[in-house]
Every structure is written in structure tokens, then in C-alpha cells.
Structure 1
């Protein structure tokens, strides 16, 4: 049997490096934003490494109800993109490879015209994958019409995408029923986010948990050397 791997995750805003390792490990990556939007999470914000330490960069969003899904969530401020781009220039303007990517990210930020958080996140994820050379197919879960409970929808996605291996982050061990996957001949592999190498990050002490933009702006074409699933 041909091995086919998938991973399923909510979209994050300019995610950290581990998110892209997960994407690079699989044949198909499913963005699953049909679930409840959660405040104070990674959906609309991430961390930057600044001279003053870690700082959040956050997209303000409207939350009209607790049942609101991620893909229903809209941006609150219309000019958030210009503000974020100015922030990135202020934080990373002197980093070694900022100039190399400046025009590309300026165009990305300033061309965003959708109010939907999920669509914004998707655009950044696709663009960063292109910079890293990731070939994985990225699909929206709504195109799959998933059915069942939390475990059932994951299994449904695996079967509809003809996958026999499901890659998951370690936090999902709290709710995934591995025996249900085994009954459908689907193997689960767990991501290991330990053991990342340090790179030439500006300002000490070193922090791993920041947006991957930190790695890209500091290492440029060599960024992949500091990820775990890429050939150096």
C-alpha cells in the first residue's frame, strides 16, 4: 500500500516553525477552521522577538458569540495590516535578511482585502510555505464535508483523502481515541517539538516559540536548516 500522510489543524496567524514542520511532513494539510474560535489563542496572534523581549502581534477580531467558528470570525480594525507591517519593519528592519523579503511581505500585507481571519491566515501560511519550498497540498476542511464527532471527523478526513497515517500535535493526546483509528487501519504519528537548533536570533536570550518570520528574517535561505523535517 502507498503511504499517504495527512495532518489537520486550525489556522494560526504567522505560525511558529513547528507548524511548518507539520505541514512539510504530510502529503495533504487540512486547515480545519469549522470549530469554535477561542480567545487568547494562536488563531489571531503570535510572538515576535524584540529588543525588549517577547511581544504579541495581534489581529483584533469581533467575537459575537461563544459558538462562533474560526472561519466566521472577522477582523475588527480595517487598517490592522498596515499597522502590523509597520511593526515588523520596526522590529526586524535591521535583521540580516529583512531586505531580501521586504517587498514580498509588504505586498502580502498591504494587499489583504478580506475581513475573515481564516482567509488571512491561509494566505500567510501559503506564502510562507512557498518561501520554504513546501510542496504539501493545503485544503480547506469545508471542501471535505466532514461528519461525526471530534474523532469521527478526523477519521473521515483520512478516509476521504485516502490517508493511512495521521500526524497530530502532542496536545491532541488528551482527546484522540487511538483505537478508533486503528480499527480503520489508520496509524497515528505524534509530532515531537523538542530538539530544535538555535539560530542567529537577535537579542538574547534565545526563544524558540516565536513566529517563523523571526527565523526567515534572521537566516534567509538557510532557514530550513533549523527546521526538523527539511533536507538541509
Structure 2
């Protein structure tokens, strides 16, 4: 039974995002959706001695109120160098910093000052999946014929992909019409983000919701021990 998940791309997202990827056979980046400001599309948090800190990829938004995620362009400003400097300053004492920096630093160096946000996000997603040995196929919603209504669009992607089961994040309960999947013979299941173990973490009280980079710097190859659905 083929399982599929469909979700907007995020910038270096938290560990739960990668557990969702690992739980399915195909993960579709839903990047033909409208770009939303002050969201996870272009930012995430890391831990610092002063608390959680945002790393935000600047994007061009002026006059582009209806642009899609896959049309959104990064807005220069040497953001990649600034992000890497912040990571280096706050995680250089982490046990696995050198191991992760060996492949992560070149990704930041390869990020141009002006390129599609979707390209940036996918670059990091695929590299992190590779490190975690997650072998799920990653595709894009633009690879499929799309419908106008949101639930219908998700269900049609499942049909075109040959999926019999759709795994959705719990936040989608607010808008998904389950009957659309039932009518197409697709089983809808809700992903559960509860029950994560605490891992050794720098800088004070433990925080689950930060970027997965925090887990990688602190735990390296042992990171899957603190995740739930990673395939080995």
C-alpha cells in the first residue's frame, strides 16, 4: 500500500517534519500554494544562550501579495553567510558540530543571494534526509495536474501518484473534508507528533520545536534515536 504526504516546504524544519517524510513512500512539496508571510516557509528557530533565535531567509514580497511559494525569490543580503555564522557561534561546542558542518557549511556557501525559496528549502531537505538515511521519494505538486479546491487537489495528487493512503499533519483537520478521500478510495490517517524523547541539548531548558539542525549538531548519527519514524 503506497503512502503519501503533501506539505509546503519549510526552511530547515523541526524533527517532526522529517518523521512525516520518513513515514511515507512519497513526499510531495505543496509549493504551488500561496506564500504566507511570517510562517515556516522561510524561517525557523535555533537555540542560543539568550533563548530561541529566528533564522529568517529574506524574500521579495513587495507588490507580490498573491505569489506562490515556488515563485518566491530570496532577497539577497548575504543571508546564507549570516545564518551559518549564527549556527557556528551557537553550536560550535556541540558534540557533533564538525561532523555536521562538513556537509552543511557547503550548502550555505552554495546558496545564492537571489534564487527561488523552494530551491533553497529543497536543497536543505534533501541533504538532511540523506544524512538521516531517509530514502522517501520527494516530488513537487507542480509535477501533477491540480484542482482548484484544496481537499480535492490533495486527493487528486494521491490518485495520480497511485497512493492508497494519505498521511496528513494534525493541523489540516481544520480544513480537510475527509469524505473527498473516502469517495476516491483513499485512506486518510492523521500523523501524531507526540511522544518525543529528550536529547542532550545546549543552552538551558529543553525545547522540542526548534530546527532539526539542533538535534543533528547535538546527536549526529544518533539523531534517529530521538525520532519516531525514521527508516534505516
Give TM-score scaled by structure 1 length. Answer: 0.96
1:79 deviates by 1.4
4+ runs deviating over 4 angstroms: none
Q: Note the aligned Cα RMSD (angstroms).
A: 1.2
Task: Give the aligned partner of residue 57 of structure 1.
Answer: 55
Task: Give the aligned partner of residue 128 of structure 1.
Answer: 128
Matched-pair contact (CA < 8 Å) for 1:9–1:30: yes
- Of residues 26, 34, 47, the one that matches 1:28 is 26
Task: Give the aligned partner of residue 143 of structure 1.
Answer: 143
Matched-pair contact (CA < 8 Å) for 1:47–1:55: yes
Q: Which runs of 5+ in 2 are unaligned?
A: none
| Distance in 1 between residues matched to 2:23 and 2:69, nearest whole Å | 24
Task: Give the aligned partner of residue 152 of structure 1.
Answer: 152
Task: Give the aligned partner of residue 42 of structure 1.
Answer: 40
Write out aligned runs for 1:45-194 (5 A): 45-63=43-61, 64-113=63-112, 115-194=115-194
| Distance in 1 between residues matched to 2:134 and 2:76, nearest whole Å | 31
Matched-pair contact (CA < 8 Å) for 1:17–1:211: yes
| Distance in 2 between residues matched to 1:78 and 1:27, nearest whole Å | 37
1:70 deviates by 0.8
Task: Give the aligned partner of residue 14 of structure 1.
Answer: 12
Task: Give the aligned partner of residue 229 of structure 2.
Answer: 229
Q: Which runs of 5+ in 1 are unaligned?
A: none
Give TM-score scaled by structure 2 length. Answer: 0.96
Matched-pair contact (CA < 8 Å) for 1:26–1:167: yes
| Distance in 1 between residues matched to 2:182 and 2:84, nearest whole Å | 46
Comparing 64-73 and 220-229, the one that deviates more: 64-73
Matched-pair contact (CA < 8 Å) for 1:225–1:231: no
Give deviations 1:24-78, integer Å, cap 9, x for gaps: 0000000011111111100000010111111101011111322111111111124
Question: SS of the residue aligned with 1:54?
Answer: strand
| Distance in 1 between residues matched to 2:36 and 2:109, nearest whole Å | 26
